Amino acid sequence: MNQPPNPAAEQAALPGCWWHPNRPTGLSCSRCGRPACPDCLREAPVGFQCTDCVHAGGQQQRRQHRGYQEAGFGVRTIAGARPSRSILATQVILAVNVLVFLVTVLQARSLNDNQVSDVFQLGVLWGQATLGAGEWWRLFTSGFLHYGPIHIAVNMFSLWMMGRALEQVFGKIRFLTLYFVSMLGASTAVLLFDNLDGGTAGASGALFGLMGAYAVIVLKLRLNPTGLIVTLALNAFITFGVANISILGHVGGLVTGALVTVAMLYAPQVRQAQWQAAGVAILVVAMIGLLVYKDTQVAAQTCQFVQYRGQELYSCG
């Protein structure tokens, strides 16, 4: 005759939970194998794990993820940069612009007529000085000079609004590349197509490059274009409606910034950085080639400081 089942005897034969010894259980952790009651088990990708193993596994996963990111892998932005909240590049560019403006003001002893300072005249973009005399540094130094406080205030506000957003998308290196190649594009457009009766200066060429980058990002991600349209319309009004604005500089910067961004965002994922560098390099070489060709068509110039109506001016002839 069979004996009837004895639940009490079966429970006494089961091991107690590792964390609750008074709770007999037939379950165990799939990772460490220790007996565990249902309250101490958590569902895992394979079987069930105890709370200690779940906690230890989470810590190990976080360490591996951190090491993965520090090694240069992990989550990337659409431009291939590691995500960062830093806007150091934008802050440095802004600080340099303000510092240069203060130097020109102190030299000229005038807040509104700072263009008469030696630093301004040696850095402003002049066709004769740049092409005829070979003062190529003006391609970039002109982007850090501004005519008066309103000029620099408007440009620095625009830099702060656009730069801090785009730097987080591109990362420091790519953002600086975008900024300075756009500045080169603006200067190239001015030297190739503008008569340059006066000097051209300001960060607006590079800032329009950032605007071109913003336009490409909106199209790439299919974002709401309302903000972009308003920004472009406002800047178009300023560019064509306000006197003494370098239209060619703005257009050159806008187009160059858009092309740089296309090279960065549409580069293949495999060896993305190399493809991006190659695309930007082709653009830079093309602009340098056009400038060299233009230089061969301009007569040689000799530039120096001369006295004119009691003021020391930089003149080429």
Angstrom distance (rounded) from CA 213 to CA 27: 58
Q: How many angstroms separate the Cα of 187 from the Cα of each of 48, 140, 304?
A: 65, 8, 22
Of 49-53, 253-257, 311-315, least confident by mean pLDDT is 311-315
Rounded to 10 deg, the angle between the 204-221 and 247-265 helix axes is 40
**Dihedral in degrees, nearest 10, Cα atoms 262, 267, 273, 275:** -100
Is the model's pLDDT at 4 over the cut of 80? no
Question: How deeply is 276 buried, as exposed, middle or buried, from its count of CB atoms within 10 A (0-12, 13-18, 19+)?
Answer: buried
- Please provide the DSSP assignment of 147-187 as one string: SHHHHHHHHHHHHHHHHHHHHHHHHHHHHHHHHHHHHHHHH
- What are the sequence ranges of the domains in the chain? 17-54, 87-314
SS3 (DSSP) at 308 = strand
Q: Please state, as a whole number, how many other Cβ atoms lie within 10 Å of the Cβ of residue 116.
A: 15
Distance separating alpha carbons of residues 257 and 186, to the nearest angstrom = 9
Q: Is 312 helix (H, G, I), strand (E, B) or coil?
A: strand
Report the alpha-carbon distance of residue 115 to residue 113 in Å, rounded: 5
pLDDT at 6 over 70: no
Band of residue 64 on the pLDDT scale cut at 50, 70, 90: confident
**Banded pLDDT at 245 (limits 50, 70, 90):** confident
Contacts of 108 (CB under 8 A, 6+ apart): 114, 115, 116, 117, 120
**Using an 8 Å Cβ cutoff, are 192 and 107 in contact?**
no
In the predicted model, is pLDDT for residue 182 greater than 50? yes
Q: Could you tell me which of 81, 67, 127 has the C-alpha nearest to residue 276?
A: 81
* pLDDT (tens digit per residue) in 92-112: 999 999 999 999 999 999 999
Q: What is the pTM of this model?
A: 0.76
The reported pLDDT for the residue numbered 242 is: 65
Question: What is the pLDDT at residue 71?
Answer: 53
**Distance (Å, rounded) from C-alpha 295 to C-alpha 313?**
24
pLDDT digits (tens, 9 = 90+) for 122-149: 999 988 888 888 899 999 999 999 999 9
Q: Read off the tokens for 312.
A: 């020391």
**What tens digit of pLDDT does each residue of 281-294 get?**
999 999 999 999 99
Options 1.10.3720.10, 3.30.70.20, 1.20.120.530, 1.20.1540.10; which CATH number does 87-314 get?
1.20.1540.10
Cα–Cα distance for residue pair 314/305, rounded to 1 Å: 4
Show which residues are catalytic.
Answer: 204, 250
- List all residues 6 or more positions away from 191 whose beta carbon is below 8 Å from its beta carbon: 125, 127, 130, 131, 139, 291, 294
> How high is the pLDDT of residue 211?
94
Determine which helix (DSSP H) or strand (DSSP E) holds 253, and give its type and residue range. helix 247-265
